[in-house]
Amino acid sequence: MGADNNVAVNVRYNIVFSPLERHLAANGLVFQERISVLEVGDPTTIFLFTFLPIENIPVSAGTVPQTITRNRTKNVLRSDLIDDVRVLGGEIISLGDEIRCRIEITPIGLPVPTSALTDEEKLRPVPGTL
């Protein structure tokens, strides 16, 4: 954290795409990455913000699994993070921040699920039952 009260939130991770996912990507499927920053509290977790822009992950065609290393950084004001504080001896003491990030990978371009109900059927009563 710098003297100007800015902080860099950095998210690094590896994601592995299967040969099937790679085939689908080569035929138009897009994998979209959304990273949300969360304040971890006791007993709740609070959504703070989402990294923007939401990015597409460049998946190439291939017949073996593909590992892609992602590294995203967002500079934010320290005040954008919810500081954990405690009152000690009449003075407010900062306990620092506890954050975590949620990484969501969404396939864009798959058909949406559909459902329908059949016509209602009347069943005859079963003999010997109430």
- Write down the domain spans for the chain: 6-107
Could you give the count of Cα atoms lying within 13 Å of 75 in the half-sphere of its Cβ?
5
Instruction: Tell me, yes or no, if the pTM score tops 0.85.
Output: no
The string of pLDDT tens digits covering residues 114-126 is 999 999 998 888 8
* 95-108 pLDDT tens trace: 677 888 999 999 99
Who contacts 76 (Cβ-Cβ below 8 Å, separation ≥6)?
6, 7, 9, 49
What is the spatial distance between Cα 13 and Cα 11, in angstroms, rounded to a whole number? Answer: 7
Quickly state the pLDDT bin for 81 (edges 50, 70, 90).
confident
pLDDT of residue 128: 80
